[in-house]
Amino acid sequence: MNKGLAIGNNKVNLLPFSGWMVVFVLVPIALVVYYAFTDVDGFTLENLKWVGTYGKTLWLSVVLAFYATAICLLLAYPIAYSMSRASARVQRNATLIIMLPMWMNFLVRTYAWMTLLEDTGLINSALRAIFGMDFPGLRLINNHGAIVLGMVYNYLPYMILPIYTSMTKIGTSLIEAARDLGANGAQVLGRVILPLSVPGIISGITMVFIPSISTFIISKILGGGKDYLIGDLIEDYFLGNSGVVNYNIGAALSLTIMVMILAATFIMNHFDKDASTSGGGVI
Amino acid sequence: MENNKYLIELKNISVSFDGEKILENLNLSIKDGEFVTFLGPSGCGKTTTLRIIAGFLQPDEGEVLFENKDMRGVPSHKRQVNTIFQRYALFPHLTVAENIAFGLKIKKMKKPDIKKKVQEMLALVNLKGFENRMIDSLSGGQQQRVAIARALAVDPKVLLLDEPLGALDLKLRKDMQVELKKIQQSLGITFIYVTHDQEEALSMSDTIVVMDAGKIQQIGSPTDIYNEPVNAFVADFIGESNIVDGVMHADNVVEFSGHVFDCLDKGFGKDEAVDVVVRPEDVDVVPKEKGMLTGTVTAVTFKGVHYEIIVDIGGFLWMIQSTDIQHVGDEIGLEIEPDAIHIMKKSKYSGTFGDFSSYSEEFDELSDVNAGVSREDDGDE
């Protein structure tokens, strides 16, 4: 029997956490599952059949989220690396600068991109002023590229910070030890830094991919509303923007995303055998 | 390679960080196969010197020669020098065998050869059967052995050891000292060892380099350093000592603590002020009336082999080690033979140490630092 120094017993200590989990996690998930498998007449699989008709939207969501995540990773890795090797002061300032945009409202940030990218926006106006002509082929907004840009811009910090955190845990002496044993710069990166930053990479991918695949604001503002993503569909079904309110189909779509994310997480954790010991893993 | 030729030479090395001089005009020659220890308090520049030899740090001035070749611009991964880091710096994502094989894989050694070499190294450090263990499942002493095996696997000419035993407990430290010395002798390679622990330095080294404030204070064999310290710093730092002011009346005649003693030192000016060192174990306790010096016992501590007795002689506290017990408040006499007295020239360290000096206080302080939790220790200098 464990009669340690803990105050009270474990069950009592866990009460606030358990309560939170039940009210804000378990009950909502149960509701989503309930709605997804019922309609006014009771149990049904009809809602899931509806999901099947949105295959293209689902696929587009996955593809755009994949691009956004890949671009974030490519941008974030070198940034995180140089940050982690900088002086303490530079590290503090760089972290602040990366966090700074997150203090601003997400909508405001995304609308700001709209005013930059639209046909009469800042970039096009500037080009017109410089070259004295229109670039009719140059469409910066209302396309997939603009949506991915919006995702990358908004979610890049979530990729940089976990990778940076995992890299700061790699002591300078480890890198020196690798050098000492004959490794050149590329070998140090491939054999020491990369494997040791895997937990951060996994966290980053998770934290960028999940909001990217379920976003509905970015696609609406920067995609012009013509490219529906799965998040837009869910919003429509719950709020009735397109005239139909149907919690059941909305819930079925939500459940589909959840299953996809869970599957992706399982696959990624497979690559990160010891996330729990080396830190940085969020899932 | 001939034995009288130097393997490593440091010439006029100077380094400063942020305007602060870390090393000042340092000159040192190290022979092949020698066990050299850099000994000094934290901040004395010993780790910096090691990092210069390893190639992690470029000196502002001066040159490093390795077998007479200038090492300027040669990066650490191209030097035949390997390092054991303070906190071992083992790769946590690799197994014991993979850690040891790290340098061999980079050398593109063939797989069967790597396997053989890894086994050989595991046997050398008494870790057979540990090849598939992860690093964080090992004790500190075992990690230490893996670090040694990993560095020795690549057949370095020189092994640099940066306070390698600092994180181990006393018993393990003593065992590892013996083992390291054994490994060094059996491989016949040069060890350059950094420590602030004078006992460690005395028991392991062929040559000790005592450093303080970025300068070499004395280079010599352990017995030379202990018996013939060049100044008050070395006398204070190595072993326990009583350092008092004295006056050299003539060759072989010195006066201190109000008594004129015979001694074996000569070559000083007439009535030159000097520092006198007397080791605590070299003082004999005699009845008060027979003593050359007399004093009052102020403290007695039982140390196992001997009693450590603190005696107040004219206001200066002496430390004496004796197998006979004395009692606090006793008036006792002390006798000091000529060969127990060592005379040193005055230096900037003269008079800085007060009463008897033992190294224990500073040592404890440093061990506390070593026991800290930081895993990313980049050296204490």
Q: Give residue-wise pLDDT tens across range B181-198.
A: 988 988 889 999 998 888
* pLDDT, tens digit (0-9, with 9 covering 90-100), for A219-253: 888 888 778 888 888 988 898 877 888 899 999 99
**B307-313 and B259-262 as β-strands: parallel, antiparallel, unpaired?**
unpaired
Residue B303's pLDDT is 85
Select the highest-mean-pLDDT range: A2-11, A53-62, B228-237.
A53-62
Closest by Cβ to A278, choosing from B78, B92, B150:
B92
Whether A181 and B375 lie within 8 Å, measured CB to CB: no
Question: What does the alpha-carbon distance between residue A215 and residue A65 come to, in Å, rounded to a whole number?
Answer: 9
- Give the residue with greater pLDDT, B101 vs B253: B101
Residue B358's pLDDT is 62
| Best CA proximity match to A212, nearest among A81, A61, A71 | A61
Distance from the B49 Cα atom to the nearest Cα atom in chain A, whole angstroms: 16
The answer to whether A87 contacts chain B (CB < 8 Å) is: no
The answer to whether A194 contacts chain B (CB < 8 Å) is: no
* pLDDT, tens digit (0-9, with 9 covering 90-100), for A74-115: 999 999 999 998 889 999 999 999 998 888 888 898 999 988
Lowest mean pLDDT of A50-64, A184-198, A235-249, B361-375, name the range: B361-375
* pLDDT, tens digit (0-9, with 9 covering 90-100), for A197-225: 999 999 999 899 999 998 888 988 888 87
Residue of B nearest to A186 (CA): B106
Residue B354's pLDDT is 67
- Structure letter (DSSP) for residue B268: P
* High-pLDDT (> 70) share of chain B, %: 91
Are B39 and B196 in contact by the 8 Å Cβ rule? The answer is yes
Is the per-residue pLDDT at B88 higher than 90? no
Strand ordering across the sheet containing B190-195? B81-84, B158-162, B190-195, B35-39, B207-212, B215-220
Question: What does the alpha-carbon distance between residue A170 and residue A204 come to, in Å, rounded to a whole number?
Answer: 17
Whether B106 and A181 lie within 8 Å, measured CB to CB: yes
Helix (H) or strand (E) holding B146: helix B140-153
Average pLDDT score over residue span A29-35:
93
pTM tops 0.80: no
Is the per-residue pLDDT at B365 higher than 70? no
Are B210 and B39 in contact by the 8 Å Cβ rule? The answer is yes
> What is the per-residue DSSP string for A55-123?
HHHHHHHHHHHHHHHHHHHHHHHHHHHHHHTS-HHHHHHHHHHHHGGGGS-HHHHHHHHHHHHSTTSHH
Whether B151 and A176 lie within 8 Å, measured CB to CB: no
* High-pLDDT (> 90) share of chain B, %: 15
Could you tell me the pLDDT band of residue B86, with boundaries at 50, 70 and 90? confident
Residue A280's pLDDT is 42
Distance, first Cα to last Cα, chain A: 31
Is the per-residue pLDDT at A142 higher than 80? yes
Residue of A nearest to B155 (CA): A181
Residue of A nearest to B56 (CA): A176
The answer to whether A191 contacts chain B (CB < 8 Å) is: yes
Beta carbons within 10 angstroms of residue B192's beta carbon:
26
Closest by Cβ to B154, choosing from A171, A181, A192:
A181
Residue A83's pLDDT is 93
Whether A178 and B102 lie within 8 Å, measured CB to CB: yes
Q: Six-digit token pair at B377?
A: 């220790």
Suggest the residue from B57, B91, B118 to mutate for an interface test with chain A (most A CBs closer than 10 A): B91
Q: Please name each of the domains of chain B with its CATH number.
A: 6-227 (3.40.50.300), 240-358 (2.40.50.140)
Q: Six-digit token pair at A39?
A: 């309609």
Whether B102 and A191 lie within 8 Å, measured CB to CB: yes
Q: Which residues of chain A make contact with B378, given a CB cutoff of 8 A?
A: 171-173
Distance from the B312 Cα atom to the nearest Cα atom in chain A, whole angstroms: 49
| Best CA proximity match to B338, nearest among B275, B278, B271 | B278
Whether A179 and B77 lie within 8 Å, measured CB to CB: yes
Distance from the A177 Cα atom to the nearest Cα atom in chain B, whole angstroms: 6
Distance from the B218 Cα atom to the nearest Cα atom in chain A, whole angstroms: 29
Task: Name the region of B239 (left: φ>0; alpha: ψ -120 to 50; beta: rest).
Answer: left
CATH architecture of A55-104+141-278: Orthogonal Bundle (1.10)
Whether B103 and A187 lie within 8 Å, measured CB to CB: no
Residue of A nearest to B147 (CA): A177
Is the per-residue pLDDT at A176 higher than 70? yes
| Best CA proximity match to B46, nearest among B15, B73, B76 | B15
